[in-house]
Amino acid sequence: MANPNKKKIVLPVAPDTEAHGPVKHLYSKKVKLPYGVPGHNLTEMEREVSIDEPPALPINEKLNVLGKRTKRVDAIYKVTGAAKYTADIQLPGMLFGKFLRSPHPHAIIKSLDVSAARRYPGVRAVHVLLMEPGGSVERDSGHDAPAETYNMDQLPRLRYVGQPIAAVAAESQYIANEAVKLIKVEYETKPFVLELDKARKKGAPIVFEEVIEDGGNEGDVGVKAADEQKGNLRGPTTGSFLGGPRGDVEKGFAEADFVLEKEYRTQVQTHCCLETHGVVADWQPDLLTVYASTQNTAGVRDDLAELFGLPKSKVRVITEYMGGGFGSKFGAGHFGVMATMLSKKAGRPVKLMLDREEEHLSAGNRPNSHQMLKMGFRNDGKITAIDLTSYGTAGVGLGAGVGRVAQDMYECPNFRTAQYDVFTHAGPGAAFRAPGNVQGVFALEQMIDEAAERLGMDPVKYRDLIDKHEVRKIQRMKGAEAFGWKYKKPGSDPGPIKRGFGMAQGHWTRFINLNSSATVRINKDGSVAIMSSVQDIGTGTKTILAQVVAEELGLMAEDITVKIGDTLYPDGPGSGGSVTAGSITPAVRNAAYKAKMELLGQVAGAWDVELSDLDMKNGEVFSKTDSSKKMSFGEATKKMRTNQVMATASRPDDYGGFEIGNGIGYGRLGSVQFAEVLVDTETGFIKVERVVAAHSCGRPLNPLQVESQINGGVIMGIGYALYEDRILDLNTGYQVNANLEQYKLPYSKEIPQIETVLIEHYGAFSSTDASGIGEPANIPTAGAIANAVYNAIGVRLYELPLTPQKVLAALGVS
């Protein structure tokens, strides 16, 4: 049975090369597509594509809707409170669920008695998990007379504070909250280990005696086959889908004129989605309907279908609006499985939303890291060797690697990495906005700056020398210009408050999810709808889909109805790995094109003209040769023979094929950010004053929304750099700041002036040539701030978050 806590389709890190080769076409055609960056190196690229592909789109400047700042189509529902999120769903007869969770970081349940909870007035169902953490698998199904008490052989070991044990469903949330406390549990506590360094030591309490078969792919790099699990250590992983070690690192160091060797540490960060994880599950004999706050409706459906032995056609998952996920909301989750179980038992819908504390404890986090980075440099700036060892803990989960930036961002013939996962008795990690790479950049980009200083070079110019990425070069240039970049001598300000400038860069692989399909439906009354299970997690997916169809049909975005986030429609991709825009928009455009051709064919018949003579633009259908033949889109649709024309399309292979297997596209999404900070050397406080963020995401579909995404990435990066830190009480294993007032986040007063620089970059990859931006926007921020802080005070900080205490310690102030 699958583990429902396993986050699925976060990153297609294991491309399935054997299973599918590139798709073959009976008929193909050649199209010329824009290629490169307008104003720099724009040319055309000829690609051979399927005959079914729509014509090439010109660059944004020549389009009507795409590339234009377009209002979010659902903003009106958000600003008026009409948008219904999972947390807002109220169904007739709905019950409320509440979990009982482990109060101990490591314990055995000696006995468990639910009888008092079951008898509590208003309680309608109780369910006890009989599987290991996360494996909330239906094991006591078929208990017609469910057990009242359980013995220790039946119950899973508890491995973190907050691990779900059981739950009740009751007539109100108050009743559920009270009843769950009546579950009697006798615990036998065991020794536990919370700290990364201690968990690695000999004699540390072991988190998993057994080898964990589950690969776990929450993070990025750092998960290794089960046979490499020793004690709490798992790994090392020595490569990624981009390859393994290369060259000879020792030889590289021998050839270096100087070698830098440093240790860096990053903290555990929690996602803090405003809407907590949760579902409303409604088990009916003919259909299980689940409203879920998820980044992947199709994934939740697949999990529940598998776990409950239902055909996928009998599970419907709906996510109309969702209040943030940032990587943590994939799969049915223990709450999804539990709510479904309770609904099945009670015969009524059950709402089970985590509370804020549960959210921190059990719903995922960005693992911490301890990175040992060693790099060799020649006096001409060339990097001769990179050696990176890392340890990180995702608690009872896996995926605490530090990504691929060291492997892939700069030219270097000799590279080696060893990335270890370390198990601890803490809540499981989950994918978190550019997993791995955010941690990796904090180390790598500080070391690159150190080398630049050693070489007496400006950090921007030094990167121009060692970074061969074309687009990033333009980003550095444009970003530096917007920022007014001028190298300043570190720590050179007089007075106690010092200003500093810094920059850092990152990259993200172009992931494509080929399982991305959509239907476009044109109705006789002239209305148009898009349907797909893909969800809008706040990034603006609904709006860009409307824009894509509007562009194709010569309409405006607001003319299009977007029905997404429902598994009754064709499967869309999960929204993680920044795959959504690049995966679903070509499918939607291709479906719109097919539907358009169908409609035009019917109009051509009615007008008795050639199909090739017709086109659509500015709300009209017209003949290209006879200007008398013209009518509005709405009139044209009245000519349809049937009440609607509909077409479904799926994401084709990248034009020109994939770099690796299916789903990893050529080209990296580069990003460069510049930061200006003020550091008060008397109090240690750091204030970020200004950030310039230079990014590219292929063809930007809606610059207004891209800007918002970049702002969001930067602000989250500021939180990571300066404030956020999950703090566990070492005596109890309990998170002391499992709330939103002591877990520090950036609020309005911490927001700097943010300027975005958007580079249009055409790669001729698909019929929209769009890519995602969510993750790239978050990658370089903490690195840029760290470099700026160094520039301000002349002392480097190697550990996140950069708190006043650490600043003062680094300055030797006590």
Partner 1 sequence: MKNDSKERSPEKKKQGVSRRAFLRGAGMTTAGTVALASGMLSFKPAEPAPAKTALMGPGETEVSLTVNGQQRTLWIEPRTTLADALREHLHLTGTKVVCDRGSCSACTVWVDGTPVNSCMTLAVDVDGREVTTVEGLAKDGELHPVQEAFIEHDASMCGFCTPGMVMSCAGLLERNPNPSLDDVKLATSGNLCRCGTYPKVFDATLAAAKKMK
Residues pairing with 694 in the sheet: 672, 757
Binding letters toward ligand FES, positions 519-538, x by CB under 6 A:
-------------------x
**351 in helix, strand or coil?**
strand
Q: Which of 134, 428, 538, 700 binds partner 1 (CB under 8 A)?
A: 538
Find which of partner 1, ligand FES, none residue 88 binds, CB within 5 to 8 Å per kind.
partner 1
Residue placing its CB nearer to ligand FES in the complex, 681 or 756? 756
Catalytic residues: 775
Q: Pairing mode, if any, of strands 560-564 and 528-532?
A: parallel
242 to 281: interface string for ligand FES, x by CB under 6 A = --------------------------------x-------
> What does 156-188 look like in DSSP terms, one character per residue?
PPB-STT-EEEEEEESSHHHHHHHHTT-EEEEE
SS3 call for 614: strand
Among positions 442, 593, 734, 765, the unique one binding partner 1 when judged by CB under 8 A: 734
Indicate whether 751 belongs to the interface with partner 1 (CB under 8 A).
Answer: yes
* 8 Å CB contact between 319 and 84: no
Q: Are residues 672 and 779 in contact, defined by beta-carbon separation less than 8 angstroms?
A: no
Which of 49, 128, 212, 272: binder of partner 1 (CB under 8 A)? 272
Contacts 24+ apart (CB under 8 A), 615-622: 615/554, 616/553, 616/554, 617/64, 617/554, 618/64, 618/554, 619/554, 619/555, 619/556, 620/554, 621/554
Q: Which of 749, 805, 812, 814 binds partner 1 (CB under 8 A)?
A: 749
Shortest Å, Cβ 86 to ligand FES: 14
C-beta of residue 296 within 8 angstroms of C-beta of residue 576: yes
* Contact string 78-117 vs partner 1 (x = CB under 8 A): xxxxxxxx-xx-x----------x-x--------------
**Pick from ligand FES, partner 1, none: which does 90 bind, CB < 5 to 8 A by kind?**
partner 1
Check residue 75 for interaction with ligand FES (CB under 6 A).
Answer: no
Do the Cβ atoms of 772 and 537 come closer than 8 Å? no
In angstroms, rounded to a whole number, what is the distance separating the alpha carbons of residues 442 and 673?
13
Using DSSP, state whether 712 is helix, strand or coil.
helix
Q: Distance (Å, rounded) from C-alpha 403 to C-alpha 405?
A: 6
Build a one-symbol-per-residue string for 311-340: x at contacts with ligand FES by CB under 6 A, - elsewhere. -------------x----------------
x/- site string to ligand FES, residues 146 to 185, per CB under 6 A? Answer: ----------------------------------------
Contact of residue 751 among ligand FES, partner 1, none (CB under 5-8 Å per partner type): partner 1
Beta-ladder partners of 540 = none
> Secondary structure of 501-512 in the HEC alphabet?
EEEEEEEEEEEC
Return the half-sphere exposure (C-beta side, CA atoms, 13 A cut-off) of residue 7: 32
Encoded one letter per residue, x for contact with partner 1 by CB under 8 A and - for no contact, window 328-357 reads ---------------------------xxx
Name the residue with the smallest CB distance to ligand FES.
274
Report CA torsion sign: 363, 366, 370, 372. Answer: positive
Task: Kindly tell me which of 88 and 464 has the beta carbon lying closer to partner 1.
Answer: 88
Closer to partner 1 by Cβ: residue 433 or 521: 433
For residue 122, state whether it binds partner 1 (rule: CB under 8 A). Answer: no
- In the numeric block, the tokens 């003209």 are attached to 609
The tokens for 601 are 């064919």
Does position 736 interact with partner 1 (CB under 8 A)? The reply is: no
Q: What span, in angstroms and rounded, lies between the C-alpha atoms of 554 and 45?
A: 25
CB of 65 to partner 1, least distance (A): 16
The SS3 of residue 373 is strand
Residue 747 interacting with partner 1 (CB under 8 A): yes
What one-character-per-residue DSSP string does 203-222 give? TPPPS-SSPP-----SSSS-
- Asked if residues 730 and 161 have their Cβ atoms less than 8 Å apart, the reply is no
Partner from partner 1, ligand FES, none binding residue 198, C-beta < 5-8 Å depending on class: none
Decide whether 328 or 417 has the Cβ nearer to ligand FES.
328
32-51 binders of partner 1 (CB under 8 A): none
Distances (CA, A) of 574 to 404, 420, 468, 513, 700: 22, 27, 32, 8, 20
Q: Answer yes or no whether residue 600 interacts with partner 1 by CB under 8 A.
A: no
Kindly list the residues in this chain that would bind ligand FES in the complex (CB under 6 A): 274, 324, 538
Kindly list the residues in this chain that would bind partner 1 in the complex (CB under 8 A): 71-72, 74-85, 87-88, 90, 101, 103, 174, 177-178, 181, 185, 271-275, 321-324, 326, 355-357, 537-540, 704-705, 707-709, 711-716, 723, 732, 734, 739-742, 744-751, 753-754
